[in-house]
Amino acid sequence: MSETIEFQAEARQLLQLMIHSIYSDKDVFLRELISNASDALDKLRMESYRDKDLGVDVSDLHVELRTDAENRTLTITDNGIGMSRDDVVSLIGTIAKSGTAETLSKLREAQASGSEEATAELIGQFGIGFYSSFMVADRVEMTTRRAGTDGGVHWESAGEGTYEISEVPDAPQGTSITVHLKAEDAEDNLHDYADPSVVRRIVKRYSDFITWPILLNPTGGTTVEGAEADEDGEAPEAGDEPINSRKALWARPRSEVSDEEYAEFYRHVSHDWQEPLETMRFTGEGTFEYQALLFLPSHAPMDLYYRDAKRGVQLYVKRVFVMEDCEALVPEYLRFVKGVVDAQDLSLNVSREILQQDRQIQLIRKRLVKRVLQTITAMRGENPEKYDTFWTECGRAFKEGLLSDQDNTQAILEASSFASTHDPEKLTTLADYVARMPEGQESIYYVTGDSRASVENSPHIEAFRAKGYEVLLLTDQVDDVWVGMVGSYGSGEDAKSFASIAQGDVDLADDAEKPEGFDDLLSWMTTELADDVSEVRLSTRLTTSPACLVGEVGAIPPQLEQMMRSMGQ
Ligand code: ADP
Ligand code: MG
């Protein structure tokens, strides 16, 4: 019995954009399907370690590609974890990612304004793997069966709003996806995906590093349909040898791996469509041996500022995939870091809970954090444009580290940048701020608020400007919290404390300049305004405004109060 089901609204919109997209490089659909197949094989192997009763043969896990020129199809098959009916409905029929609605509305705007570049970029942010098959197909079929369960599922759709789903009693375990190729691509020799040589080229380019064997039209099992015979009668592209070299990128000598290969690997581990901003490789030797290959993204992940944001890198043990999103290796404020850590001395069926306590993992994490902080700081010196991209996209998340990572506070401050009254366009480092401090200035002055415009016009700033003191303009919600916690920048004698220009009695004038004879007026005003303020003081911090409101030192700043309220506290 077949049932017709509607795609979730967001999924439908995204599919429409995909089908009619101007995305120029259609080849990437194959990369996405192979990436999913590879993930499914990883998951099955892990599952078989954890569940000895799964009863699945994991000795021959692989991906199989079959081209059929006659029927104009390409089929991608894996004998991985597979999906249940519920899995198919929720994983394929919906998009459950945080930030989807927001990104979709931006996408519609970009489309309406006809900006192809912005559209492509936004589509890329979804990392919409499976749906990309509709760029080349007018119909996609899928048969799948979850490992360890009985009945399989058949799924089919033309990508136009609905899909058909039915039961298949005798489906093989794993997933098989058949892409019915659009007729229009048949004429295009370079993009005829029913042509084995085209498929081979794409796999070489995009999926070479996949560690599972990828077979193209293997002779075993069913006969090779459509593979055109050579003069000598042999099917030229039929092969039982994998067409990918299967080498783990992080285990190959650095000089042998190209930027393009790193970029493809990054796309696989991050599910992102863009290039990475920065690639980091390092190893640990001695007692705890490990290799790490990490990336900074060139745009903020869609869910970066959502509570359920994914975090962590992939964990391997001696080249064997162990888990996705290993949180124990990456602190929350570095949740935009993606990549792989391959450790030598861990058990393969280690649990997430045990990892949190593991000494080796803690050491690797320490090293990883240091390395990322160094890389960000170095990037600012070597490639300011790259750094600016990083900072615009991920800076807000990064600064959360000032609240949670006491061991690295100074390194995080060092890697950070801030708006200041010194330059209306450019951000400053704290080191540069301190270098500009005039004689007599003891503290790093700052003001917090909602936007640069609002804090720049703040009456609190006037006297500081007049004195030639630079003021940091901190406008992210997180700024309010860390400035109160961090205390100072630098160490030892050179440490400079942070001082809010809107709190307490910032004394900018010499005593002699203080006007006298206002005591009666001030105590009268304090009594009259008792319901609203705790004290009325004479100030030397104003030059043109008659009065301003200041908070007490140590009081909760208004922005923080607001932030705590919006977080439901
Ligand atoms: P992503 O890979 O970024 O999660 P996709 O659209 O590529 O997004 O895939 C959506 C989900 O569908 C995957 O996360 C996975 O759970 C499931 N899926 C897709 N392809 C397969 C497959 N070959 N085997 C098992 N599950 C799959
Ligand atoms: Mg995918």
**Closest ligand 1 atom to Cα of 127:** 3
Does the beta carbon of 268 lie inside 6 Å of ligand 1?
no
The yes-or-no verdict on residue 556 having pLDDT over 80 is: no
Q: What is the pLDDT of residue 104?
A: 86
pLDDT band at 226 (very low <50, low <70, confident <90, very high): very low
Q: Is pLDDT larger for residue 553 or for residue 240?
A: 240
Beta strands 152-157; 137-145: pairing state: antiparallel
pLDDT band at 558 (very low <50, low <70, confident <90, very high): low
* Minimal-distance CA residue to ligand 1 atom 14: 91
CA 502 to ligand 1 center in whole angstroms: 51
**Closest ligand 1 atom to Cα of 177:** 23
Residue type, 391: W
Give CA–CA dist 395/398, Å, rounded: 5
Q: What is the pLDDT of residue 569?
A: 45
The yes-or-no verdict on residue 76 having pLDDT over 80 is: yes
- In 329-470 the beta strands, taken as DSSP E runs, fall at 338-343, 418-420, 423-428, 444-448
H/E element holding 500?
A: strand 496-500
* Half-sphere exposure in the Cβ direction for 271 (13 Å, CA): 21
CA 533 to ligand 1 center in whole angstroms: 58
* Half-sphere exposure in the Cβ direction for 356 (13 Å, CA): 4
Does the beta carbon of 271 lie inside 6 Å of ligand 1?
yes
Q: What is the pLDDT of residue 401?
A: 97
pLDDT band at 130 (very low <50, low <70, confident <90, very high): very high
- The mean pLDDT value for 530-556 works out to 71
Q: What is the per-residue pLDDT across 315-332, written as a single tens digit (0 to 9) for each?
A: 999 998 999 999 999 999
* Minimal-distance CA residue to ligand 1 atom 20: 36
463 is written with which tokens?
A: 């006297």
pLDDT band at 563 (very low <50, low <70, confident <90, very high): low
- The mean pLDDT value for 105-124 works out to 80
User: By mean pLDDT, which of 400-409, 447-456, 492-501, 521-530 is the weakest?
Assistant: 521-530
Q: What is the pLDDT of residue 508?
A: 63
Q: What is the pLDDT of residue 279?
A: 97
Does the beta carbon of 192 lie inside 6 Å of ligand 1?
no
**Closest ligand 1 atom to Cα of 271:** 3
Q: What is the pLDDT of residue 225?
A: 47
Q: Is pLDDT larger for residue 263 or for residue 238?
A: 263
Give CA–CA dist 358/373, Å, rounded: 23
The yes-or-no verdict on residue 501 having pLDDT over 60 is: yes
**Closest ligand 1 atom to Cα of 43:** 25
CA angle 400, 405, 409 (to 5 degrees): 90
Q: Which ligand is nearest to the CA of 126?
A: 1
Q: What is the per-residue pLDDT across 144-158, written as a single tens digit (0 to 9) for each?
A: 999 999 999 999 999
Q: What is the per-residue pLDDT across 376-427, written as a single tens digit (0 to 9) for each?
A: 999 999 999 999 999 999 999 999 999 999 999 999 999 999 999 999 999 9
Choice from 91, 100, 271 to test ligand 1 binding pocket (greatest atom count within 8 A of CB): 91
Does the beta carbon of 49 lie inside 6 Å of ligand 1?
no
Q: Which ligand is nearest to the CA of 38?
A: 1
The yes-or-no verdict on residue 506 having pLDDT over 80 is: no
Does the beta carbon of 288 lie inside 6 Å of ligand 1?
no
The yes-or-no verdict on residue 351 having pLDDT over 90 is: no
Q: What is the per-residue pLDDT across 22-44, written as a single tens digit (0 to 9) for each?
A: 666 889 899 999 999 999 999 99
pLDDT band at 536 (very low <50, low <70, confident <90, very high): confident
**Closest ligand 1 atom to Cα of 129:** 7
**Closest ligand 1 atom to Cα of 80:** 24
Q: What is the pLDDT of residue 117?
A: 78
H/E element holding 486?
A: helix 477-486
**Closest ligand 1 atom to Cα of 36:** 20
**Closest ligand 1 atom to Cα of 128:** 6
Mean pLDDT (the chain) is: 88
pLDDT band at 495 (very low <50, low <70, confident <90, very high): very high
Q: Is pLDDT larger for residue 460 or for residue 261?
A: 261
Choice from 39, 266, 274 to test ligand 1 binding pocket (greatest atom count within 8 A of CB): 39
**Closest ligand 1 atom to Cα of 32:** 7
Q: What is the pLDDT of residue 230?
A: 47
Give CA–CA dist 70/83, Å, rounded: 29
- Contact between 126 and 103 (Cβ < 8 Å): yes
Q: What is the pLDDT of residue 560?
A: 59
177, β-bridge pairs = 76, 142
CA 128 to ligand 2 center in whole angstroms: 7
The yes-or-no verdict on residue 522 having pLDDT over 90 is: no
Q: What is the pLDDT of residue 417?
A: 98
**Residues by chain with Cβ below 5 Å of ion ligand 2:** 36, 129
Length of the chain: 569
* Minimal-distance CA residue to ligand 1 atom 3: 271
The yes-or-no verdict on residue 224 having pLDDT over 50 is: no
Does the beta carbon of 32 lie inside 6 Å of ligand 1?
yes
* Minimal-distance CA residue to ligand 1 atom 5: 129
Contacts of residue 284, Cβ cutoff 8 Å, sequence gap at least 6: 290, 291, 292, 363, 364, 367
The yes-or-no verdict on residue 56 having pLDDT over 90 is: yes
Classify residue 538 by its DSSP letter: -
Q: Which ligand is nearest to the CA of 18?
A: 1
Report percent pLDDT > 70 for the chain.
89
Beta strands 73-78; 137-145: pairing state: unpaired
Q: What is the pLDDT of residue 555?
A: 60
Q: Is pLDDT larger for residue 71 or for residue 527?
A: 71
Q: What is the per-residue pLDDT across 359-374, written as a single tens digit (0 to 9) for each?
A: 999 999 999 999 999 9
540 CB-contact burial (10 Å; exposed 0-12 / middle 13-18 / buried 19+): middle
Q: How many CB atoms lie within 10 A of CB 195?
A: 21
Q: What is the pLDDT of residue 43?
A: 95
493 is written with which tokens?
A: 């004698």
User: By mean pLDDT, which of 224-238, 459-473, 496-510 is the weakest?
Assistant: 224-238
Q: What is the per-residue pLDDT across 301-320, written as a single tens digit (0 to 9) for each?
A: 988 998 888 899 999 999 98
Does the beta carbon of 93 lie inside 6 Å of ligand 1?
no
Q: What is the pLDDT of residue 505?
A: 56
* Minimal-distance CA residue to ligand 1 atom 18: 36
Does the beta carbon of 78 lie inside 6 Å of ligand 1?
yes
CA 35 to ligand 2 center in whole angstroms: 6
- The mean pLDDT value for 466-477 works out to 92
